[in-house]
Structure 1
Amino acid sequence: MAGDCVPYRLRSVAMAVGALLFILGSFDIADARQPLSASLAPMSLAPMLSRVIPTIVSISVRGKSADQQDDTLYLTPGAQSRPSSSGTAVGQTSETTGAGIITDAQHGYILTNNHVIEGATSIKVTIASGETYDAATVGTDGQTDLAVIKIKAVGLAQAVLGDSSSLKVGDYVVAIGTPYGLGKSATFGIVSALDRSGLGLSSQEGFIQTDASLNPGNSGGALVDLEGKVVGINTAILGPSGANIGIGFAVPMNTASVIMRELVAHGEIRRGQLGVQVQDSSADFAKALGVDATTGALINEVLPQSPGEKAGLIAGDIVAAIDGVSISGAAQLSARISALPPETVVKLTVLRRSGKAEITARLGTASAADATSGSVDYVDGVGLLDQIILQTLDSTSDAFGKVQGAVISSISDSSPAGAAGLQPGDVIISVHQTNATTPQMVVDLSKAATDVLLLGIFRDDHKTFVVVKR
C-alpha cells in the first residue's frame, strides 16, 4: 500500500509544480517586480465614477397633476408602456425626480428624457455639489423621448459622449442616476441586447438593453462604458410594477446626439424622410428576390417624386446599410433616417438581383405623421371584405414599424369578415399568402375570392391566419 502511494504523491507534486509554473508564466516580468499587495489590489470603478458623477444632475419636476408626471417609463410584460412615478402627489400637483446629463458646461445644456419634464410647471436641477438651479426648456422630442433643458451656472463638469455604434452584447456598462430620489447612484451590468424595437415606448426605437439596475428616477441618466463615456440615455424598465428585474432600456447616444444638436439649434426636430415603405426582410424574401441577405429592410413601395425615387430606389430593394453601418430591419431604417435632418446626404447599401449597389440619396422633409408612411387613405372593402373600411397603417397604430399592411378602421359584425372574428385595429398583412402593404392592395388581391379568403393578420404583436368565407 505504501509503495502505491509514492507514484501518487509524485504525480501530485508534479501537478502542483506545473500549476505554479503556469501561474508564474501568466504574470508579466514587470508585474513580478511590484509588491504582492499591489498586484493583488482589487479593480474598482471608483476612479472613473469620480469623473463622471459630477456630470450627472438630479431633476425635480413640479407638474400640473399627478397623472401628467412620471419619471420612468416601465413595461409590464404583455402590456403597453405605462408611467411610473417616484414622486408624491400633493393636492392637485405632483413632484417627481429624474436625472440628466450635462452635455455643454459653458452654456448649461442638459440632456434628459422628454417624459421626465413633460407637462412641468417648474423644473429644478441639482448638480453634484448640491447647488440647485431653475431650468428652462430648450426643446423636446416625443418621438425619441428626449429633451434638452438649460441652467445658468458656472464651473459645471461636462460629460464625454461616446460612440454607441461600437457597443457589443456583453460589454460592461454603468447606469448613473437618481433612483427613488437617491442622487449619485451607480449600478453595474452588461449590454444585454442591441437595437431593441417593438416595445411601444416611442415611434423611434432601437434601444440598448441592459441588466444594470434601473429604477424610477433613473430616467434621463447616463449609461456609460468603462472609460466613462456616455453611450446611452436610460429611458425605461421592464417589470411587473415598475420595479427592476434586470431588463432596462436606453436610447443610444448616437441617436441622442443628433436629436440634441437639432433641439439646441432649432428648438424642435426637423426630420428627414426617404419616401419609402419598408418591412423586415428575411431569408425567404432574400431567396425569392435572388439576393444574399437574411436581414435588412425590404422596400415594398417607393412614393412618387420622393427622395427615394429620385435616388433610384425600387420596390424589392433590400437596404442593408446606411453610411456603412448595417441595419437589421424596417424599424431601424426608419429610426436612423428620421434621426437625420432634411437635406442630409446618405449612402445606402442596397441588395438587388443584379448585385450590390451603393445609392446616394438626399433626404426630404418628413411630415408630422412621418412621411415615410405616406398619407392616411381610407378604402371600402369589397366581396368577402364587404362592410369593412381599411386605412393606411400610420404612426398612431401600435403596429407601426412592426409590420406593413392595412388597418381595419371599422367593421360590421354581420359581415363575413366580422363573422370570421376580425376586429377594428387588426392589421391585414397578406391575402392568400401574398404581402399586402396598403388598403388598396388588400382590396385588389381579395377581389377574385368568391368563397374563401385567406388573410394574414397582425394583432397584439402576433401574426395569425384568418379564413373569411360565405
Structure 2
Amino acid sequence: MKSLFKYSAVALGAAFLTLLGYHITHEQTVVYTPLQPNTINTNFTPNTTTKAISTDFTTAAEKTIDAVVHIINTSIETEQRSRNFMEYFYGRSSPEYPRVGMGSGVIVSSDGYIITNNHVVEGATTLEITTNDNKKYEVEVVGKDKNADIAVLKIKGDYNFPYVRFANSDNTRIGEWVLAVGNPYNLNSTVTAGIISAKSRDFSDYDNKNQSFIQTDAAVNSGNSGGALVNLNGDLIGINTAITTNGMGTFIGYSFAVPSNIARKIFEDIVEYGNVQKALLGVNGNGLNASFAEELGIQETEGFYVAGLEIGMGAQEAGIKKGDVIIRIDDALIRKFSDLTGYLGSKRPEDIVDVTVFREGEKLLIPVKLKRTPFINYYGMRLRDMSNKELENYKIKSGVYISGVQNRRLSIRGIKKGHLLISVNGESISSKDDVLALNEESINELEFMNTNGEKMRFIFE
C-alpha cells in the first residue's frame, strides 16, 4: 500500500491519502445522541412539491458486477540480509518467498481487455483473475502508465465476456449518485453508493504528479483498487484508485478515481500504439486564486495563469502569450491547474483544441494544435531525444538525453542530468520510442555515458 499525502483537518484529525492496500481494522462502538428539534420562524414558504430523485441502484449494480474482476498478483521477493566476506566470492542465494497482493479490475471489451491500477499489478511474477462466477483466468500485462496509475491487461484465450461501457466523465456533475464496485478485503463483487463530492481533485503537492481525480464519498477499502466507479446507468466514469484514511488504511469518508476519459484514452493508446500518446499544450504557470491574482494585479481569480511558454510547442505557435489567463479549453471550464491537466490527459498529439483566454480584459479564442511531449519517464529517469548536433558534440551515434533522475539506485551511482542512456539490456537506444518499447521490469543492464565521454555499465540482479 502506498501513502500519497498527509493533511490536517479539524473534523478528521490526522489523515492521509493512500493507495488502496491491505489492512485489517477493528470495529468501534459509536454512541449516537439524537438531536432535539428546534422550532424557528421562517420568512419564506417551503416548496412542498419537489420530487425526490430516484435512488434505485439495482440496474447499475446488475450491469456492473459481472464485469468487475478480482486480481491476484503473485510476486517473488528475495529476503534482504547481510552477507559475510566469503559469500562475496563464492556466492550464496538469498531466501525467496512469494508475496500475494489483491485488487480489482474492470472488463471494458467483450474479448477480455481489463483496466486496473498500475500499483495493483506492479512487480507481478504471475497474474490471475477471478470473475463474478468464480471462474479463474490467466492474464497478461499489455501496457502501463505509471504517472496516471493505470494498467491494461488482456485475458488469455478467446472468450466473450460481459463488459462495462465508458461514459464521458466530463459530463459528470457534483452531487450525482455513483456506485463503487470492487473486491474489498476479498469480499467479491461488493457494491457501495455515494455521490460525487468534487471533480479535478489534485494531489501534486504531495506526489509531484499532475493528476485530476473524481472525489466521492462511496465507501472504498483495501482491495477496491482498480475497481469501477459507475453512474446510475451502469456506465464507467472512473477507476477507483485512492482513499483518505486514518493511518490504518481504512476508509474514513472520501475516495478518489481516475476519470474514465483519461483511463479510456490510455487504454486506446496502449492497444493501438503500444504506448501512451501524451500531448502538450506548451504552457507553464499556476492556477489562480485571490491572493495570487492580487499579487499579479489582475481581476480574474479562477483559471490558469500563463507564466511562460515552451518554444516550438503549440501554444507559442498559436499566439498564446505570457500573462494570458486560460479559462476554457473547448467546452471544459479551467478553474485550476488540475482542470487543465485533466482535460489534456484525454487528448493526443495533433489534436486541435479551442483555448479561451483573458488578455488585458479581453476574451480571446485561440485554436491550438497539441504536440507530442518531448520527454518520457522511464525507470525513474526523464528522457528526451537528441539532435544530430548534440550527438556530434558527444561524439556518439545514438542515445537519449537524461534531463532528470529520480531513481535513487541510479543517483547514488552518479547518474545525473546531462548524462546519456545509450543501451538497455545490451540493446542500443536511438530514441525515446526505443525506450518505451522495453519493459521496465525486465531491466538487468543499463549503459550510460557521462559528460566526459566515459561509459558506465550497471548490472542489476
Structure 2 length-normalised TM:
0.64
Q: Which residue of structure 2 lines up, in the alignment, with residue 74 of structure 1?
A: none
**Is 1:116 aligned with 2:120?**
yes
List aligned pairs for 1:282-301, cutoff 5 A.
Answer: 282-283=289-290, 286=293, 293-301=300-308
What residue number does 2:181 align with?
Answer: 176
Q: Is the 8 A contact 1:281 1:295 kept in 2?
A: yes
- Structure 1 Cα separation of the partners of residues 175 and 405 of structure 2: 33
C-alpha contact (below 8 Å) 2:180/2:228 kept by paired residues: yes
1:180 corresponds to which letter in structure 2?
Answer: Y
Q: CA RMSD in A?
A: 3.1
Tell me the CA shift for residue 198 of structure 1.
Answer: 2.1
Q: In structure 2, what is the equivalent of residue 213 of structure 1?
A: 219
- Which of residues 140, 150, 154 is equivalent to 2:154? 150
Match of 1:60 in 2: 72
- Displacement of 1:179 after TM fit? 0.4
| Structure 1 runs not aligned, ≥5 long | 1-21, 29-41, 68-89, 376-392, 398-408, 410-470
Q: 2:241 aligns with which of 232, 235, 240?
A: 235
Greater displacement, 281-290 / 311-320? 281-290
CA distance in 2, matches of 1:27, 1:203: 43
Contact 1:297 1:319 survives alignment (8 Å): yes
- Structure 1's 47 and 374: CA in aligned 2 closer, same or farther, altered over 3 A? closer
User: 8 Å contact 2:201–2:338 — kept in the other structure?
Assistant: no
Counterpart check, 1:224 vs 2:230: yes
**How far apart in 2 are the matches of 1:316 and 1:354?**
11
Higher helix proportion: 1
* Residue 309 of structure 1 pairs with residue 316 of structure 2: yes
| In structure 1, distance between residues paired with 2:287 and 2:370 | 21
Contact 2:280 2:370 in 1 (8 A): yes
SS in structure 2 of the partner of residue 314 of structure 1: coil
**Is residue 2:279 matched to residue 1:279?**
no
How far is the alpha carbon of 1:121 from its aligned partner? 1.1
Instruction: Give SS of 2:306's match.
Output: strand
Using the aligned pairs only, state the percent identity: 32
2:108 is paired with a residue of what secondary structure?
strand
Q: Which residue of 1 aligns with 2:169?
A: 164
| Structure 1 residue 94 displacement after superposition | 0.9
- Alignment gaps of 5+ in structure 2: 1-45, 80-94, 385-402, 408-416, 418-461
SS state of the match for residue 351, structure 1?
Answer: strand
Q: Could you tell me how far apart the structure 2 residues matched to 1:353 and 1:256 are?
A: 37
1:111–1:149 contact (8 Å) kept in structure 2: yes
**Aligned mate of 2:142, from 138, 145, 148:** 138
Q: Deviations over 1:234-255 (max 9, x none)?
A: 0011111211111111111111
Instruction: Give the secondary-structure state (helix, strand or coil) at the position aligned to 2:209.
Output: coil
Are the aligned partners of 1:275 and 1:374 in contact in 2 as well (CA < 8 Å)?
A: no
Question: Contact 2:212–2:338 at 8 Å: present in 1 too?
Answer: yes
Alignment of 1:93-112 (within 5 A): 93-105=98-110, 107-112=111-116
Separation of aligned partners in 1, 2:175 and 2:135: 37
Q: Which amino acid aligns with 1:323?
A: D
Amino acid at match of 2:149: D
* One of 354, 371, 377 as aligned partner of 1:347: 354
Amino acid at match of 1:209: Q
Higher mean displacement: 286-295 or 127-136: 286-295
Alignment length (residue pairs): 321
Q: Give the CA deviation at 1:44.
A: 4.2
Change (3 A) 1:127 1:209: same
Query: Could you tell me which amino acid in structure 1 is paired with residue 117 of structure 2?
Result: N
Which deviations, in whole Å up to 9, do the C-alpha atoms of 1:101-158 show, x marking residues without a partner?
Answer: 11111x3111111111111111111112211111011110001000110013423101
1:283 Cα shift? 3.8
Q: CA 1:340–1:313 in 2, change beyond 3 Å: closer, same or farther? A: same
Q: Which has the larger radius of gyration?
A: 1
Match of 1:48 among 55, 60, 66: 60
